[in-house]
Amino acid sequence: MAPITIKDIQVILTQPWHSRLIVVKVITSEPGLYGLGCATFTQRWHAVEAAIEGHLKPFLIGRDVSRIEDIWQLGMVHGYWRNGPVLGNALSGVDIALWDIKGKLANMPVYQLLGGKCREAANVYVHADGRDPQEVIENAQRFMEQGYRFIRVQMGGYGGKNAGKTRPEGALDGAYYDPRAYMRNMLKMIEAVRVTLGDEIELLHDIHERLIPIDAVGFAKAVEQFKLYFLEDALAPEDIAWFEHIRQQCSTPIAMGELFNNPHEWRSMIERRLIDFLRMHISQMGGLTPARNAAIHANFYGIRTAWHGPGDVSPVGHAANLHLDLWAPNFGVQEWCRFPELVYEIFPGTPEVRNGYMYPNDRPGLGIDINEKLAAKYPCTDEIEQWTQTRLPDGSPARP
């Protein structure tokens, strides 16, 4: 029997909500058989589209769709340089789509191909923000009434309230924040939330890498008393050596990884037991294939998964996350962005959340599709990102 091959690869771009989404459609030589993958790098979507159309597509046309590992290995090194976010997302779109196809051919959900379920549904966490502690508490309480048991609490967005009023004369515009004020304000907010909501609710918080290393160590130590489920992105990838100091000084659980591209970034963290949760963006790291391997590796070291799942992961990416969540013995919790109804119309089969759990639909493959005509009504828009133009109170540029 002749193998089923890749006939065409299409890049579908759409922006029905906040983020620009990149979905890859791998069309096969078998009539009507195709797979969908997520390649969403919302800040550099043109580059990912060009990488797929100009490089991966001509390289992959005619290849056997069943050879997922072979395609991933060659795709990663075919350009010689590797492990960057553009290539990672481009290759991820293809990789996830091939898993979708394999599941359809087997007439099984992808989680069955990975090894079957370890659970029926995945606990998710949602984001409660606010302008002051009371508003954060009220928003968290609304989520609790909806059945959510894991809530990430923030105040004033990443880095806290705008600090631009104190900038010197002539300082450039940007998204200003004050790291020291952020630490003071967030500790007071988290304390208020814990006192009001009690110990039963699992609280999370995201530093978003906005502290210098020594302050991140101090913050992790100070927040230990509030028993977070985890503290997210305490340090930037450039500063990961400092995680050892956090580990030596406190028991605050740490989640890390959404900016990781290179396996050496997460491998060293796993093997040195410096973190407690992996939360890579699975399209940035290259798709389901490396995510599966990272989860297996982490399981040997008692480290759980908490894959990146904001609005700049497409519904196809969320579906892929869910299949990993259902299978992985070391699953922790899944980030969830709460898509509006329009997104469900564009992506039929988008995972549904009920009473704080995300459920699969058990259709073959990833169980998700796309209404291309409706998606085309919401084209991606070009804009210069403002929130990533971050600055300190004196006007110095800072990491977002």
| 8 Å CB contact between 22 and 77 | no
Token couple for 37:
């993958």
Rounded to 5 degrees, φ, ψ at 243 are: -60, -25
Can 208 be counted among the known catalytic residues?
yes
The Cα 400–Cα 382 span in angstroms is 20
Q: Are strands 230-232 and 202-206 parallel, antiparallel or unpaired?
A: parallel
Number of helices (H) and strands (E) in the chain: give both, helices first.
Answer: 14, 15
* AA identity, residue 142: R
Sign of CA dihedral 242, 246, 248, 254: negative
Strand stretches in 194-318, DSSP E: 202-206, 230-232, 254-256, 277-278, 304-305
- SS3 sequence, 136-149? HHHHHHHHHHCCCC
Strand, coil or helix: 294: helix
- The tokens of 266 are what? 């997460």
Contacts of 343 (CB under 8 A, 6+ apart): 16, 17, 315, 350
208-218 burial: b if 16+ Cβ within 10 Å, else e: bbbbebebbbb
* Residue 182 annotated as catalytic: no
330: left (phi over 0), alpha (psi -120 to 50) or beta: alpha
Nearest to 306 by CA among 120, 70, 115, 122: 122
Which of 34, 176, 182, 208 is flagged as catalytic?
A: 208
The C-alpha atoms of residue 316 and residue 73 are separated, in whole angstroms, by 22
CA-wise closest residue to 307 among 171, 97, 124, 111: 124
Q: Which of 111, 125, 148, 158 is catalytic?
A: 158
Strand pairing category for 277-278 and 390-391: unpaired
Active site residue ranges: 158, 208
